[in-house]
Amino acid sequence: MSRKFSAFIFAAVVILAGATAQTPAPAITQLVGFPCDSTLTKCPDGSFLSGFIESPDGNFYGIASEGGTGLNAQGTVFKITPSGQLTVLYNFAELPDGSLPNGASPDSLVEGTDGFLYGTTLVDGGNGLGTAFRLSKTGTITLLHSFCNTIDCHDGANPAFLTQGIDGNFYGVTGPTNPPTSVLFRMSRTGTYTVLHTFDQKAQPDGTGVFGMLQAPDGNFYGTTVAGDQLKPYNSVFRFNPVTGQYTILHSFNSPNINLPNIASSGLTLASDGKLYGLRVGSILYHITLAGAYHEIGAVSPTQFSDGDLIEASDGNLWGDFFFGNPGIVFSSTLSGSVLYNIPLNSAVNGFEPFGLLQAEDGKLYGMSFQNGAPTHGQPSNGSFWVIDAGLPPPRATLVNFQPANGKPGSTFLLQGSHFVGTTMVAIDGVCAKFHVLTANYVRVTVPTGATTGRISVTNAGGTSTSTREFTVQ
């Protein structure tokens, strides 16, 4: 979800966490600051960071919603090497006629299985309401779609999220805004665009957009919607079937009390126990099954309350952050809710308003701060890319799905999951296969000669993971 829309989540009373850290907390160390002038208006690398990904090429790629170079630049796409070297790949700057045809203020980024970067911008483009774009890693941009919202066009306005499904298409959302401008959509690699669902806060728990979506082993997308205005503080956990188009609300967060809102405040993560975990306002951790059985676990922070991220790391524990509640924190807890760490940020050292936490191939945790940070090259920073070395082992790959489910020797299939960066071996029923890591979430596998029907295994620095179902060799 775009951080520019974070204010749609309400403040809440603080709820004390049930446990505190018993061991020294690991440090949050800034790797890269985004320098600006003294007024924080000229920031050549970008400012107000808004997202990043890990790529199989060993680098991180990210976006800044403002700053850059060029005429009235309004955002950048950049690359950061593991050693912390920053390179700007593209500046969203005005043309001489004052237009911004490729958009401005990028707010989502994903790597496609074709090696290109795909993303969205919040505003501008042909209709002023945002764009979807494709960008090569050498900086060549292609406009895929300009969003619009007129009597004749209900594409939605202000795109805020994008991900790639196992079918090769991109799925995303616009908003959160009032209907019909807030939609769930599908887009091909070439920009063919289809609206799949219109979010409608008149249907109270439907919300007005999403925090994010993930695709589960059953092929469905799961996500949480963003609450509406103060008069309609409702949202939900939902399931969307990309084949049938069926949209189902699994759990409704209905909040009659705006002073203590019972509403979702993060996206979901699929944990090793097969359940989806998320956060609601009040720093409340919950889990929900794919069938919709909801269970509230408890608070994970004594000082923060809303707008967070959540992942399961290689230690088997949940790690996350809270964007609101200056300066923001990074936290860790067990799946049962026992709090291990609450690590506050420092605006002058590593920035504040953290988000985008992920565990990389090396086992370290990486994240961003929306603004501020330690000075860089003697200049104030307005954005920080940081790392936490908590001594965690490298993560094993997680296998989610594969498509097609069968094939002859020499044919290929797409393997979906996570932590594929650094994969050293893929096998079918113990027979090694040729493979190509396409993204952190996808591997292209060739069915090997001599393979028989069996489970798929993937090996990386974290160990070997095996699929729960078999691939059929024809």
Per-position DSSP letters for 297-309, written without gaps between them = EEE--SS--S-EE
Q: What is the reported pTM?
A: 0.93
Q: How confident is the model at residue 179 (pLDDT cuts 50, 70, 90)?
A: low
**Can you give the pLDDT at residue 258?**
58
By C-alpha distance, which of 469, 344, 360 is closest to 416?
Answer: 469
Report yes or no: 86 and 79 within 8 Å, Cβ to Cβ. Answer: yes
Q: How confident is the model at residue 92 (pLDDT cuts 50, 70, 90)?
A: very high
Q: How many CB atoms lie within 10 A of CB 197?
A: 16
Domains and CATH numbers, the chain: 3-388 (2.130.10.10), 398-473 (2.60.40.10)
- 257 versus 116: which is more confidently predicted? 116
Cα angle 447, 406, 271 (rounded to 5 degrees) comes to 95
In the numeric block, which tokens belong to residue 452?
């028989």
Cα 64 from Cα 432, distance rounded (Å): 41
Report yes or no: 60 and 54 within 8 Å, Cβ to Cβ. Answer: yes
Per-residue pLDDT reduced to its tens digit, 429-465: 999 999 999 999 999 999 999 999 999 999 999 999 9
* pLDDT average, residue stretch 321-327: 83
Per-residue pLDDT reduced to its tens digit, 110-128: 999 999 999 999 999 999 9
Per-residue pLDDT reduced to its tens digit, 381-404: 999 999 999 999 999 999 999 999
For tokens 């409704």, name the residue: 252
Per-residue pLDDT reduced to its tens digit, 354-380: 999 999 999 999 999 999 999 999 999
